[in-house]
């Protein structure tokens, strides 16, 4: 009895703790469930694309809006997101309608890729609806901006040309050309030319840079370049093309003028015309190292989804995101094209 | 030049020559895992097909029904770019006066000009590597001639006489209400780029109450093979991508110690892949790192339909691989026997 009483007494003291544990179990279960749900939560992310019109290229490159869309589709496979796609059709009214639709749908985040005056008002609307915005290439006031830096891209191209000239043509008379749609200010193509010119002026001060404006017509590359080469019958030529189509047209013009051994070309974009599938004839290719197109600055527009969605998820998780995030730029050459763009299309 | 200087120059050249060779060869022990079947293993996962495994698989044969799992190998089927297959018939004895002897014997033979990875085919151990390193840490640069490999050829494989399991991914996706088909498919199919996960495969097994056993061969029906059947009309679409297993599914299948994985697609794995900067990473996981065979362009619709109509997804897997010395793979005939 003497022993039992303390035991009983001990039991009496423990019972409330047992009840406490029992009472806490449902709470713990609910909390665990909420935690699991939080970890596996699928966010609804809207991507309002600049255009999805078939065949229409964007940013003064060979990439189409559809390729950017497809890049988001592929990237989204690995993230806990449900994507909703809109086509801004390069139209302010349409972009506004898309934002309204996303607000009605109560998306968790809105990725806005639109070049127009409506961006400010759209940003205000989304903010009022409590929907965070991530801007792509063109600012939305108050939203982080993921953007292509065209001047930086031009500098990469300029460095590649300068390096080539210093390595291969040191001491030889050299001229330089920047060819492309140099009047496409909306696509910021002149900024590429600016970057190229800056670097060449610094690294090769004796080299004069001549701009050749195709005004968006690749068929003009041949006549413009033909005249230039005729006016410079001797010496070497560094040629910066503002996009890959222009680069390929320039290569043809150089071949037609018989100046292959005098010319080096660096391009911008790295669209499919220049890297291609497994069995395409690829200008930049490990098996085509002798090409006068020595490289192109990759903009990775077709992989924006892989860079933008991680930023979107960081925003959704309440993490800070820099106000401006530059998109990746890489000089793609025959030496690294299969690292950056391993071909998978077997056609 | 003084003798000492000549010796120094020669020594420097020797160092440079051998140094360059050393740099060209990778350290395969750091790039590829060792085979669980020992340092001399060239066989890979068919080591798992033991007599006990074959005997157990034989119990799958209940009524002798044979279901084809190969596509016809003929001109016009999807081939990758520059790959080709061409037959030339020798029929000279059919010409007037060409028959032999009083018994008038005539004969015909074929010359088959073809690459080995065409049609329904098996990827052998020498098909895929990481840099110059192949299955079981093999530095392949040392084992290739102009004509073939001197290591890891098909002649080292054991028979594939084991149990096959069909996983009907179309049904899995339909039941989960997540099937996004391609409009070019006449029958339901998963669209290209669809990543099949380990959970998807387990759902497909659960559908037929199957538990994988060591030594099984897993066949996945995606429906994409419908485009192969429409050859040549849909060849470009068929080759442009495919649904397939991702890294998660590959990891799970490796853990199940299967012998081979086959699908009605041209690469088994999802294309475009999960990472745009990787090329055919699942091939490396299965073949290079684990010796698990890959079978491509497998006809899966008939066995999937058979499983659906009978409620049984297992069968005796019948496939003969020629003892083709030094080859990296070959076209095969496959049947499911029930």
Residue A11 reports pLDDT greater than 60: no
pLDDT at B174: 98
**Could you tell me if B72 and B130 lie in one domain?**
yes
- A77, A345, A346: residue with CB nearest B195: A77
Lowest mean pLDDT among A209-218, B18-27, B86-95, B150-159: B18-27
pLDDT at B195: 98
Q: Cβ contacts (< 8 Å) between B235 and chain A: which residues?
A: 347
Q: What is the percentage of chain A residues whose pLDDT exceeds 90?
A: 83
CB A327 within 8 A of CB A148: yes
Chain center to CA of B124: 7
- What mean pLDDT do residues B318-323 have? 96
The pLDDT confidence band at residue A345, using thresholds 50, 70 and 90, is: confident
For residue A48, give every residue at least 6 positions away whose Cβ sits within 8 Å of its Cβ, in sequence order, or none. Answer: A85, A86, A87, A88, A95, A98, A99, A102, A110, A111, A112, A113, A114
The model carries a pTM of 0.86
Instruction: Kindly determine whether residue B272 and residue A342, on different chains, have CB atoms separated by under 8 Å.
Output: no
Tokens of A259: 């100046």
Given B117, B142, B177, the domain boundary residue is B117
Separation between Cα atoms, residue A267 and residue A274, nearest integer Å? 10
B158 in a structural domain: yes
Tokens of B150: 């001197």
- B266, B272, B280: residue with CB nearest A74: B272
pLDDT at B4: 55
Considering only alpha carbons, which residue of chain A is nearest residue B248?
Answer: A78
- For chain A, the distance separating the N- and C-terminal CA atoms, rounded to the nearest angstrom, is 90
pLDDT at A279: 73
Separation between Cα atoms, residue B185 and residue B170, nearest integer Å? 12
Instruction: Kindly determine whether residue B82 and residue A342, on different chains, have CB atoms separated by under 8 Å.
Output: no
B18 in a structural domain: no
The pLDDT confidence band at residue A29, using thresholds 50, 70 and 90, is: very low
Per CATH, A43-148+303-316 and A150-298+333-340 having the same topology is answered yes
Look at domain A43-148+303-316 and name its CATH class: alpha beta
Residue A34 reports pLDDT greater than 50: no
- What mean pLDDT do residues A329-336 have? 97
Residue B320 reports pLDDT greater than 60: yes
**Could you tell me if B111 and B204 lie in one domain?**
no
Q: Which CATH superfamily is domain A150-298+333-340 in?
A: Response regulator (3.40.50.2300)
**Could you tell me if B201 and B179 lie in one domain?**
yes
**Could you tell me if B49 and B88 lie in one domain?**
no
In degrees to the nearest 10, what's the CA dihedral of B24, B30, B35, B39?
60
**Could you tell me if B233 and B250 lie in one domain?**
yes
Q: Name the region of A324 (left: φ>0; alpha: ψ -120 to 50; beta: rest).
A: beta
Chains A, B: CB pairs < 8 Å: 45
B206 in a structural domain: yes
Report which of residues B322 and B25 the model is more confident about: B322
B169 in a structural domain: yes
pLDDT at B84: 82
Instruction: Kindly determine whether residue B193 and residue A344, on different chains, have CB atoms separated by under 8 Å.
Output: no
- What mean pLDDT do residues B2-28 have? 53
**Could you tell me if B75 and B100 lie in one domain?**
no
pLDDT at A31: 47
- Going by C-alpha positions, the residue among B128, B27, B120 that lies closest to residue B72 is B120
Which residue segment(s) compose the domain that B197 sits in? 28-81+119-337
**Could you tell me if B164 and B288 lie in one domain?**
yes
- What mean pLDDT do residues B131-159 have? 97
- A78, A303, A342: residue with CB nearest B279: A342
For B244-290, the pLDDT digits (tens) are: 999 999 999 999 999 999 999 999 999 999 999 999 999 999 999 99
Lowest mean pLDDT among A228-242, A270-284, B178-192: A270-284
DSSP-derived letter for residue A337 is H
CB B238 within 8 A of CB B227: yes
- What mean pLDDT do residues A243-254 have? 97
The pLDDT confidence band at residue A1, using thresholds 50, 70 and 90, is: very low
Report which of residues A258 and B86 the model is more confident about: A258
Helix (H, G, I), strand (E, B) or coil at A14: helix
For residue A134, give every residue at least 6 positions away whose Cβ sits within 8 Å of its Cβ, in sequence order, or none. Answer: A109, A110, A111, A112, A143, A144, A146, A308, A311, A312, A315, A321
* CATH assignment of the domain containing B325: 3.50.30.50
**Could you tell me if B130 and B279 lie in one domain?**
yes
For residue B306, give every residue at least 6 positions away whose Cβ sits within 8 Å of its Cβ, in sequence order, or none. Answer: B65, B67, B336, B338
Question: What is the total count of domains within chain B?
Answer: 2
**How many Cα atoms occupy the beta-carbon half-sphere of B254 within 13 Å?**
19
Instruction: Kindly determine whether residue B239 and residue A339, on different chains, have CB atoms separated by under 8 Å.
Output: no
pLDDT at A25: 52
ipTM given for this complex: 0.83
Residue A38 reports pLDDT greater than 80: no
Given B102, B117, B132, the domain boundary residue is B117
B247 in a structural domain: yes
Given B60, B94, B117, the domain boundary residue is B117
**Could you tell me if B113 and B62 lie in one domain?**
no
Phi, psi of A179 (to 5 degrees): -120, 140
**Could you tell me if B124 and B91 lie in one domain?**
no
Q: Cβ contacts (< 8 Å) between A344 and chain B: which residues?
A: 241, 271-273, 279-280
**Could you tell me if B191 and B330 lie in one domain?**
yes
For residue B226, give every residue at least 6 positions away whose Cβ sits within 8 Å of its Cβ, in sequence order, or none. Answer: B185, B186, B187, B189, B264, B301
For A80-116, the pLDDT digits (tens) are: 999 999 999 999 999 999 999 999 999 999 999 999 9
Give the residue ranges of DSSP H helices in chain A: 4-39, 65-76, 92-105, 119-128, 150-168, 189-203, 221-231, 244-256, 304-316, 337-340
**Could you tell me if B107 and B180 lie in one domain?**
no
For B41-67, the pLDDT digits (tens) are: 999 999 999 999 999 999 999 999 999
- A78, A306, A344: residue with CB nearest B279: A344
pLDDT at A39: 53
Q: Cβ contacts (< 8 Å) between A338 and chain B: which residues?
A: 279
- What mean pLDDT do residues A217-236 have? 96
Tokens of A135: 């801007």
Could you state, in order of their start, the residue ranges of all structural domains in chain A? 43-148+303-316, 150-298+333-340
């Amino acid at each position: 009895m003497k022993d039992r009483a303390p035991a009983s007494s001990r039991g009496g003291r423990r019972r409330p703790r047992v009840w406490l544990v029992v009472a806490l179990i449902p709470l713990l279960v609910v909390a665990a469930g909420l935690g699991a749900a939080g970890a596996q939560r699928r966010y609804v992310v809207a991507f309002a694309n600049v255009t999805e019109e078939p065949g229409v290229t964007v940013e003064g490159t060979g990439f189409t809006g559809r390729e950017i869309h497809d890049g988001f589709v592929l990237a989204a496979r690995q993230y806990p997101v449900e994507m909703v796609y809109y086509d801004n059709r390069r139209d302010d009214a349409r972009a506004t309608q898309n934002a309204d639709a996303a607000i009605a749908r109560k998306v968790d985040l809105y990725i806005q890729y639109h070049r127009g005056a409506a961006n400010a008002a759209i940003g205000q609307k989304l903010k009022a609806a409590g929907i965070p915005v991530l801007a792509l290439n063109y600012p939305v006031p108050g939203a982080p901006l993921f953007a292509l830096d065209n001047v930086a891209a031009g500098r990469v191209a300029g460095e590649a040309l300068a390096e080539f000239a210093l390595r291969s043509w040191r001491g030889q008379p050299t001229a330089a050309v920047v060819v492309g749609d140099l009047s496409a200010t909306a696509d910021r193509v002149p900024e590429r030319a600016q970057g190229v010119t800056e670097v060449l002026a610094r690294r090769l001060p004796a080299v004069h840079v001549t701009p050749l404006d195709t005004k968006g017509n690749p068929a003009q590359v041949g006549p413009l370049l033909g005249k230039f080469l005729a006016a410079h019958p001797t010496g070497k030529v560094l040629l910066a093309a503002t996009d890959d189509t222009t680069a390929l047209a320039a290569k043809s013009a150089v071949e037609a003028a018989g100046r292959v051994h005098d010319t080096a070309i660096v391009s911008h974009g790295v669209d499919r015309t220049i890297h291609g599938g497994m069995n395409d004839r690829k200008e930049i290719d490990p098996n085509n190292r002798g090409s006068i197109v020595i490289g192109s600055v990759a903009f990775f527009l077709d992989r924006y989804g892989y860079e933008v969605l991680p930023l979107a998820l960081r925003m959704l998780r309440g993490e800070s995101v820099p106000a401006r995030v530059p998109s990746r730029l890489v000089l793609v050459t025959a030496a690294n094209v299969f690292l950056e763009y391993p071909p998978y299309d077997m056609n | 030049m003084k003798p000492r200087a000549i010796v120094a120059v020669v020594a420097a050249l020797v160092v440079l020559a051998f140094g360059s060779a050393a740099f060209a060869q990778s350290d395969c022990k750091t790039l590829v895992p060792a085979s669980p079947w020992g340092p001399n293993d060239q066989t890979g996962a068919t080591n798992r097909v033991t007599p006990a495994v074959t005997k157990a698989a034989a119990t799958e044969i209940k009524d002798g029904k044979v279901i084809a799992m190969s596509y016809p190998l003929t001109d016009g089927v999807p081939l990758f770019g520059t790959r080709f297959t061409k037959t030339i018939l020798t029929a000279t004895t059919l010409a007037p006066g060409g028959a032999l002897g009083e018994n008038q014997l005539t004969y015909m033979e074929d010359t088959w000009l073809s690459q080995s990875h065409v049609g329904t085919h098996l990827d052998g151990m020498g098909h895929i590597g990481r840099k110059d390193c192949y299955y079981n840490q093999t530095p392949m640069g040392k084992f290739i001639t102009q004509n073939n490999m001197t290591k890891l050829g098909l002649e080292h494989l054991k028979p594939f006489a084991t149990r096959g399991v069909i996983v009907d991914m179309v049904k899995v996706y339909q039941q989960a209400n997540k099937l996004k088909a391609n409009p070019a498919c006449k029958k339901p199919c998963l669209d290209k780029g669809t990543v099949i996960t380990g959970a998807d495969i387990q759902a497909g097994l659960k559908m037929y109450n199957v538990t994988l056993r060591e030594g099984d061969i897993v066949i996945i029906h995606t429906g994409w093979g419908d485009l192969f059947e429409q050859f040549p009309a849909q060849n470009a679409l068929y080759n442009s991508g495919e649904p397939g297993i991702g890294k998660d599914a590959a990891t799970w299948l490796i853990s199940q110690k299967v012998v081979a994985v086959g699908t009605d697609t041209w690469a088994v794995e999802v294309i475009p892949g999960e990472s745009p900067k990787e090329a055919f990473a699942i091939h490396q996981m299965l073949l290079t790192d684990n010796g698990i065979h890959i079978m491509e362009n497998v006809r899966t619709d008939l066995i999937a339909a058979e499983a659906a109509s009978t409620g049984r997804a297992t069968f005796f897997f019948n496939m003969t691989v020629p003892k083709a010395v030094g080859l990296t793979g070959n076209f095969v005939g496959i049947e499911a026997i029930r």
